[in-house]
Structure 1
Amino acid sequence: MSSSDDDTPLVRGRPNGVKSEDRISKSVDQAMDKQIPSNGHVEPGVSVRMGPIEEMDVDTPPTNGNVNGKRKARSSLTNGRSYKEESSSEDDDKPLSKRRRTSQQAKRVMEDSESELSDVPLKARKPPKATAAQIGESSDSDIPLNTRLEKKKESIEKAAAKEAKTIRNKEKAAASKRKPKAAKSESDDDVPLAKKKKQPAKKTPNGVKKDESDSDAPLAKKAQPKKTKVKAEPATPVKKSKGKAKAEEKTAQDEEAEDEEDEYRWWEDPTNGDGTKKWTTLEHNGVVFPPEYEPLPSHVKLIYEGVPVSLHKDAEEVATFYGSMLNSTHNVENPTFNENFFNDFTAILDKTGHGKDKHGNTVKIKKFEKCDFKPIFEWFDSERAKKKALPAAEKKALKAEKEAAEAPYMYCMWDGRKQKVGNFRVEPPGLFRGRGEHPKTGRVKKRVMPEQITINIGKEAKVPEPPAGHRWKEIKHDQEGTWLAMWQENINGAYKYVMLAANSDIKGQSDFKKFEKARELKKHIDRIREDYRRDLKSEKMADRQRATAIYLIDQFALRAGNEKGEDEADTVGCCSLKYEHVTLKPPHFVIFDFLGKDSIRFYDEVTVDPQVFKNLKIFKKAPKTTGDDVFDRLTTSALNKHLTNYMPGLTAKVFRTYNASWTMARLLRDMKAVGSIPEKVKAYNDANREVAILCNHKRTVAASHATSIEKMQERINGLRYQVWRTKHMMMDIDPKIKKKKGAEYFELPEDLDDEWVKQHIDSLVEEQRQKIQKKFEKDNEKLKAEGEKEMKAKELDQRLEVAEELGKKYRKEHKTGKVEAEGKGPTIEKMEANIDKLNQRIETMKVQMEDKEGNKEVALGTSKINYIDPRLTVVFSKKFNVPIERFFSKTLREKFDWAIKSVDENWEF
């Protein structure tokens, strides 16, 4: 093997692994060309199929997926930062000495859309399959799905290249106007930063400052942000006479949140984001610790070999971690989970003297199979039931008591402004779950003590008091960090941070910077794509590997990946792909199958550029085999370092944000959403879905999806049945109307047969019974709270007779076909109006069901929250007059408050 004769440092693969040559000879290139048969025009860049692998002619060995056992650790050129979730930028706030050198399990993200994956065993998951309906096109089209998608993607890329050149030309023209006559005619890129002419900040019509505004001006000279009042409609001035009335309408909570100050519009602050000092003064009250462990009642014990045993308090607490979750079969039936738990449990038992029987004799607990945790589970289950059965008033009182105790910790004073704190509670001890097939699942998360916690606070502020008899590990005054407290957990050695809430200025700035960086990328994307396509044919192996990796990251939204430690989950990204993760299927199909972020399986069959296919063939060339790195001359840090040559701060993860936002911006630009609000929402979701497919944001179909669709269809059928009843009420009012409308108008739909009607009537009766039962319980709780005598069961029986009467009535109607008119003063006109309303509800529900069906394999939440600039959603909301609440939950509206308030319908990404 020849040694490298270029400046690329040697990157070693796994121990004793095979390394690629540093240069690719013409003979190897030509030999590979002969091996790869031509199949006409190739349309690279989209997923072809998301189904299981059929029998096919692939490279050998034909194994695909993950190797049994742990991955070997890879060495790195540099100790780069871990590749984290795109939405997270918390690593910037951590002390340099505390940043981890290996990637960690990312935190769970807010919505719901992907959480179901974590509870599905990997082997049971079926890879998703993209359908034509998911991109809003008919499934019976003669044009193949991948052709349609490729044409769409190709046009989007051409538009991106055209816009990038236009932006650069405009910037050059503007720069040349600003220069003195003696200056260079082309550009001032080579002029030292200090020598460049300072220009006043410019605003676009939508109020967002242009990138070149005053970034080079000294900090002291930059304009200070204006403070503006919070207004429902910014364009409309608020009269002074109404100001007092509005102030009186605000609740105490509103006043507290606003802190009786003008709103600070930080996104208009030119001094924001200079990367140095984050705060001048900081005050807070520390953290909230979980309650101390309360021992089990004396009659509740762990049973070992049929003998109830008493345990030391510390060991008993660990036993309750497992015993309380026996209903979580996904975990307790996992051999790894059980093994890890029992190893940690026995370690604590060894320290505390194991168990004692009723005579005080020592009982050695050595085998997991002989442990019976059922008594512990039954006790916890009964306690949960008691808590659930508490009267509403008592639940409310307990909640209020808890909120009052935590109130001092919910806010901090940041540079004199009141900011909400996010996760001020210290994590309670328990069993680590992890996501996917995490190797440490089941291990004991130890109780965090004050002695492990470092507090970050202002020098002049009062340091919060630790719990009695304890002390803090350290007090810091780190003005470059945005964390308030931190500690190291014992499972992965990761540092946990108390940060500000998602709707705080600092967190909002983090999201703002991320999307602004993606907007900046659109100026350079054409040059980047031109360069990596040229380097796909480079003679230098390192350059060709880098170009191929950037192609895969840009075209298929692969994460860059990073080095892993031996004890971490076996997850990979583009740069850390192994031989067995990539299967080549001539002439130009590539199948990826590996554990991605959060140990979730990434499976995709894609069609690639012929040169990329050939490159991957070269990178996998014998004698490489299972366990060897595909990109053995590339690391994530080296890749990101190369990307910074195009623009400061550019990393591989910015491509995902850019591609999603740019694609959505193009779709919204041409969109003409019409119809009702649900139809407009569906139009937005269709665009979001197309973004998710083109950017590879997929998910496994939820186990509950079929049931959910079935329930929606059942509700639609129930409305159709009500339409039938209403039509028959018209005949009850005017028997002659049957002749006018025709007998067919009054017939029950064929699919609503006798069996369905009987089941539907039974379900209506049961639904009515449950409503009556809940109302009875609620009335009794109210009577009890007011000190009055509760109603007896006899009263409930009388109320339930109403439900039985309803069932008899419906059954008679179905049998005779006669329905008595209901309501006050029923008329034909009123019945027809009711039918119109019911049909409108049916159509709305059908749209919603189609939308849900289209979303089953696509992670719309992932795209919308993490990758699509939220300002684009706000633009859609304002442009088509759809309430923003239809797209963002309350939590997301708080998180993206800056986006909602900073743009109008004319803003462009």
Structure 2
Amino acid sequence: MSDSEDDRPLKAKAKSKDVISKAEDAAMDKQIPTNGHVNPGISIAMGPVTDMEVNKPISNGHTNGISNGKRKVSLANGKSYKDDSDSDDDIPLQKKRKTDTVSSDDDIPLKKVVKPPKVTAAMVGEESDDDVPIGQKLQLEKEKIEKKAAKEAKALRRKDKTEDAKRKPKKQAESDEDDDKPLIKKQKNATVKKEAKPIKKEEFDDDVPLKKKAPAKKVKKEVVSPVKKGKTTSKVKQEDKSADDEEGEDEEEEYRWWEDQAKGDGTVKWNTLEHNGVVFPPEYEPLPKHVKMLYDKTPVTMKPDAEEIAYAFGSMLSSAHNVENPTFRKNFFADFKDMLDETGHAKDKDGNTIKIKQLEKCDFQPIFDHVDAERSAKKALPAADKKKLKAEKDEKEAAFMYCMWDGRKQKVGNFRVEPPGLFRGRGEHPKTGKFKKRVTPEQITINIGKEAMVPKPPDGHSWKEVKHDKEGTWLAMWQENINGAYKYVMLAANSDIKGKSDFKKFEKARELKKHIDTIRKDYHQELRSDVMATRQRATAVYLIDQFALRAGNEKGEEEADTVGCCSLKFEHVTLRPLETVIFDFLGKDSIRFYDEVKVDAQVFKNLKLFKRAPKTEGDEIFDRLTTSGLNKHLSNYMQGLTAKVFRTYNASWTMANLLRDMKAEGTIADKVLAYNAANRKVAILCNHKRTVAATHGAQMEKMEGRIDGLRYQQYRLKQQMLDLETPAKLKKKRGEAYFALPEGLDEEWVAKHQEALVEETRDKIRKKFEKENEKLAAEGQKEMKGKELEERMEVADEMEAKFKRENKKGGKIEAEGKGPTVEKLEAGVEKLDVRIATLKIQSEDRESNKEVALGTSKINYIDPRLTVVFSKKFDVPIERFFSKTLREKFDWAIKSVEEDWEF
């Protein structure tokens, strides 16, 4: 945006009418006919597109275009595994070019649209030859799942009502008879109940538990490895007393908080709290005198505070994604210049003042070379030295790693204060490149028990404040200078308090099961309301429920212009007949959200209505709706219900239904594959997306390189066959093509591959030799001499010589191994066929999943108890689904359910 544009007065925001007239509604019905059938929303695209010219769907001017490439993957037999496969993930994001001017007619069809990758059958574990289109199949499956949800909700409410009736007096039971009525009808009824009091917002999502649990049981801690079928995990393991004496101390008793939900109903999170504060990063060490930044080719000296900012930029030169970003460069240089102004600018070797005015004249390469050399030296350290350094660091930090929370030892998560550096942000953050200042003790507030000893701050410093906030789950906090956000030191993911937060999040999603049918029935009715605010709210709830859109919050002037459902603007939504909506905006963490979805006809009509003139670019679509108002409305259905609960509910309910009908058979690998297919289907049905990883392209290239390497191995085996039998006879039997160099490989590729094989062999020998020497040194034995390494290297030398001989003979390869025969070589070729096919399937699977957030679904939205149920039901070790960190995080889920548990 130019300076002249910045000076223009802000235009008045266009607003929707308060009431929608029947005539206006009828006129729009004629434009957008509907068959009256309510369809659940379904995503028909799973990623970004390029060259979009659809009513200029830009995201606050920050839309990124990604060009699509095509890659053809072939099986060993020459057939195409998948002819059309998008492989655009290795192309850097670039600024999206502006499209044609915005037209007020938002129904103009898409022009020159490059289609995004479609959901394929393979992505959801289905056969690709099914006659039903995958989009239609997914929609039918979603309808089926939603019908089950409505049926289950009614059954749960009937069950609750029956149980309540047994406990309540008759009059009180009669007063609850209208619980199943839609909200609209209840509001019209004169006997409507008072709205639930707003729930106090806490640090975590810890509302009142759904059911009272049995008193806590204290048991000995037990290491739970693979989750076995049966009830062994819930039994108390009896420890031999003599073993305890041998250990020197009794094992700490395990606190099974999930069986003690009576505690923690209120806001008090702890009664006693002790900890040792935080670990500060080391002070900045000035660069050696011979290492200096150059300005206009002149070495300059700066005060440490300014040099530290230059050091931060220079150390990042290898990160082109950041240092070549115009916003990053602009923000960095602004902070750098401000610090130079404060510290008296730079000096040359003669002490003359040098004013640094242009970033283009700054040369940070000497700083980068120094940093890179230090990194390389550290990386080259022997394993024993690295281990020693780590042990020293762990010893210094040991006192900060744990705290005493209500008398129980709990691990602290992020006890280290973040060091100063350049802020990167995610996506297209407007403040990327700004300098994160060093945090001092004077900025830090400590939260600790009244009776506990307050941690001592560094010498010469004092804490900002010491609090005794029993309602807070934080140990320390401070405000950072970039966004003014508060940073908190919290307990680790596997702590009781974090586990309770996860537990209550999923329990709240389970509670939503009882109300989901009423909510959906109500918002489908309200989609036709003549009150604009009500219609907008219903449309927003539909989008949040069906497409997992985040609600979104109002943003301040200094915040990134990220968007959610309630804050969608005119340019973020493009309509394409019939009933297709394109969302394109900057979502959470400034990550671009793009989706092309098929919506209910009434929703399409409503969005068209919300975008009508005089609204134009910059105007809000839901101008009569706020996030707080939406959540207040939702809380009428269920205590503590907010927009974000729908994401958790939909993912967990979908997975529960898929697992209920699943019949996983075969090996453990087959069962894991079945689970992953269900997880993938959840991610697609619930629209859980991710941006393509920056390393995806490199990973795909590496995988293709492995496949080519195996194809070359096959070629060598086939050439060895020709050495054992008459070539003419074999070629007549097999055909010339069988013995030819595989397609895509040429002599230049072979030469490079052979060189790489030799170097790889040398590297393996060298690493093994060093590792063995380190082991000998650790055991106090004499290390092997360099001559031993030279002798071992003869294997690589022989390989290199063999390749040279073969190349001189025109590529003739002699048979290798003991007693080689054509039959043995053919068996070797067939084994490689299997390995190649497996790698190609893995490659295709990785390519298909590049924009589907499988990890996000499994970790954040699917109730972990469902994964535990699958593990126990089908005898699959839990390690196949959860890493060690996740097993610690979800310890409560692993130990609290059996295979018959249901979401």
1:37–1:587 contact (8 Å) kept in structure 2: no
> 1:648-697 CA distances to partner (integer Å, 9 max, x unpaired)?
01000000010011001111111112223222222111111111111111
Once the two structures are superposed, the pairs formed by residues 74-473 of structure 1 within 5 Å of their partners are 120-121=93-94, 123=96, 129-132=117-120, 133-180=122-169, 184=173, 187=176, 213-214=211-212, 224-231=215-222, 232=224, 235-236=231-232, 243=240, 260-473=251-464
Q: Is the 8 A contact 2:499 2:889 kept in 1?
A: yes
Q: What residue number does 1:533 align with?
A: 524
Q: What displacement does 1:318 show?
A: 1.3
Task: Report the counterpart of residue 66 of structure 1 in structure 2.
Answer: 59
1:268-323: CA deviation from partner (whole Å, max 9, x where unpaired)? 11224413111111110000000011111111122222222211111111111111
Residues 333-372 of structure 1: per-residue CA shift (max 9 Å, x gap): 1111111111111111111111122222222222222222
1:712-737 Cα deviation digits (max 9, x unpaired): 355456567768988999999999xx
Q: Does 1:770 align with 2:759?
A: no
For 2:235 and 2:887, how far apart are their aligned partners in 1? 24
Paired residues of 2:14 and 2:619 also in contact (CA < 8 A): yes
Residues 717/242 of structure 1: CA separation in 2 closer, same or farther (3 Å cut) = farther
1:790 Cα deviation after fit = 7.1
Q: Distance in 2 between matches of 1:504 and 1:749?
A: 61
C-alpha deviation, 1:827, in angstroms? 12
Query: Unaligned 5+ residue runs, structure 2?
Result: 1-9, 64-88, 99-113, 180-190, 194-207
2:655 is the counterpart of 1:661:
no
Please tell me whether the aligned partners of residues 454 and 474 of structure 1 are also in contact (alpha carbons under 8 angstroms). yes
1:773, distance to aligned residue in structure 2 (A):
2.7
Aligned pair in 2 of structure 1 residues 414, 830: CA closer, same or farther (>3 Å)?
farther
Question: Which amino acid letter does the alignment assign opposite residue 151 of structure 2?
Answer: K
Question: Structure 1 residues 156 and 579 mapped into 2: Cα distance closer, same or farther (>3 Å)?
Answer: same
Quote the residue 2:854 is aligned against.
860
- The code of the aligned residue for 1:507 comes to K
Most deviating of 184-193 and 20-29: 184-193
**Aligned positions of 1:735-750 closer than 5 A:** none
The CA distance in 2 between the partners of 1:365 and 1:712, in whole Å, is 47
Q: Alpha carbons of 1:426 and 1:192: their partners in 2 closer, same or farther (altered >3 Å)?
A: farther
Q: Please show how residues 798-877 of structure 1 align to structure 2 within 5 Å.
A: 798-806=791-799, 819-822=815-818, 845=839, 848-877=842-871
Bigger CA drift: 501-510 or 755-764?
Answer: 755-764
Q: Per-residue deviation at 1:621?
A: 1.3
Q: Deviations over 1:248-284 (max 9, x none)?
A: 998x9xx8xxx82221111111224413111111110
Cα 1:828/1:903, change in 2 over 3 Å: farther
1:903 aligned onto 2:897: yes
1:765 shift after superposition: 2.9
2:500 to 487, 506, 509: 509
- CA 1:783/1:307 → structure 2, altered by over 3 Å: closer, same or farther? farther
Partners of 1:438 and 1:465 lie apart in 2 by 37
- Given that 1:279 and 1:480 are in contact with CA atoms closer than 8 Å, whether structure 2 keeps it comes out as yes
Cα distance in 2, alignment partners of residues 827 and 272 from structure 1: 74
- In the other structure, the counterpart of 2:44 is 48
Query: Structure 1 residues 486-495 or 675-684, which shifts more?
Result: 675-684
In the superposition, relative to structure 1, how do residues 314 and 141 fare at CA in structure 2: closer, same or farther (>3 Å)?
same
Task: Flag the 1:229–1:326 CA change in 2: closer, same or farther, 3 A.
Answer: same
User: Would you say 1:20 and 2:13 are equivalent positions?
Assistant: no
- SS of alignment partner, residue 44 of structure 2: strand
SS for the counterpart of 1:544 is: helix
2:641 corresponds to:
650
8 A contact 2:720–2:813 mirrored in 1 = no
Q: 1:594-743 counterparts in 2 under 5 A?
A: 594-702=585-693, 704-715=695-706
Following TM superposition, by how much is the alpha carbon of 1:20 offset from its aligned partner in structure 2, in angstroms? 1.1
Taking only aligned residues, the RMSD between alpha carbons, in angstroms, comes to 3.9
Report the number of matched residues: 811
Q: What amino acid sits opposite 2:869 in the alignment?
A: V
Alignment-derived partner of residue 557 in structure 1: 548
- Aligned residue type for 2:690: R
Q: Which residue matches 1:893?
A: 887
Any idea what SS the aligned residue of 1:308 has?
strand
The answer (yes or no) to whether the contact 2:219–2:236 under 8 Å persists in 1 is: no
1:584 correspondence with 2:575: yes
Distance 1:837 1:479, change over 3 A: farther
1:130–1:693 Cα contact (<8 Å) kept: no
Counterpart Cα distance in 1 of 2:826 and 2:887: 40
1:176 Cα deviation from its structure 2 partner: 2.0
Structure 1 CA distance for aligned equivalents of residues 624 and 171 of structure 2: 46
Shift of 1:770: 1.7
- Is the partner of 2:597 in helix, strand or coil? strand
Distance 1:117 1:844, change over 3 A: closer
Query: Which letter does structure 1 place at the counterpart of 2:489?
Result: V
Aligned position for 1:199: none
The answer to whether the 8 A contact 1:288-1:406 is kept is yes
The Cα of 1:708 is off from its aligned counterpart by 3.0
**Contact conserved, 1:589 with 1:608, CA < 8 A, in 2?**
yes
Q: What's the CA shift for 1:710?
A: 4.8
Mark the CA change 1:376 to 1:535 in structure 2 (over 3 Å): closer, same or farther: same
- Paired with 2:333 and 2:118, the residues of 1 have a C-alpha distance of 42
Structure 2 CA distance for partners of 1:853 and 1:671, relative to 1, 3 Å:
farther
Name the CA shift for 1:767/1:822 in 2 (closer, same or farther; >3 Å).
farther
Which amino acid counterpart does residue 854 of structure 1 have in structure 2? S
Cα distance, 1:145 vs structure 2:
2.7
Shift of 1:600: 0.9
State the Cα distance separating 1:498 from its structure 2 match: 0.3
Q: 1:122 to 1:145 in 2, by over 3 A?
A: farther
CA distance in 2, matches of 1:509, 1:633: 36
SS in 1 for 2:43: strand
Secondary structure in 2 matching 1:299: coil
- In structure 1, the residue matched to 2:510 is 519
- Give the CA deviation at 1:328: 1.1
Deviation at 1:118, TM superposition (A): 13
Partner of 1:35: 31
Counterpart code for 2:508: K
Counterpart Cα distance in 2 of 1:841 and 1:456: 57
The alignment's TM-score, normalised by the length of structure 2, stands at 0.82
Shift in Å, 1:839: 7.2
- Equivalent position amino acid for 1:135 in 2: V
In structure 2, the CA distance between the partners of 1:750 and 1:870, relative to structure 1 (3 Å rule), is farther
Secondary structure, in 3 states, of the residue corresponding to 2:459? coil
Amino acid in structure 2 at the alignment position of 1:137: E
Q: Is the 8 A contact 2:723 2:813 kept in 1?
A: no
CA gap 1:117/1:483 in 2 versus in 1, 3 angstroms: farther
Change in 2 beyond 3 A, CA 1:283/1:585: same
Q: Distance in 1 between matches of 2:330 and 2:173?
A: 70
Could you tell me how far apart the structure 2 residues matched to 1:480 and 1:354 are? 48
Cα displacement string for residues 748-795 of structure 1 (whole angstroms, at most 9, x for unaligned residues): 698477858776655433321221232344456567776967744x65
Is structure 2 residue 877 aligned with structure 1 residue 883?
Answer: yes
Structure 1, unaligned runs of 5 or more: 1-13, 71-115, 194-209, 215-221
- Paired with 1:441 and 1:285, the residues of 2 have a C-alpha distance of 33
* CA distance 1:715–1:365, shift in 2 (3 Å): closer
Give percent identity, aligned residues only: 66
Report the secondary structure of 1:176's partner residue. helix
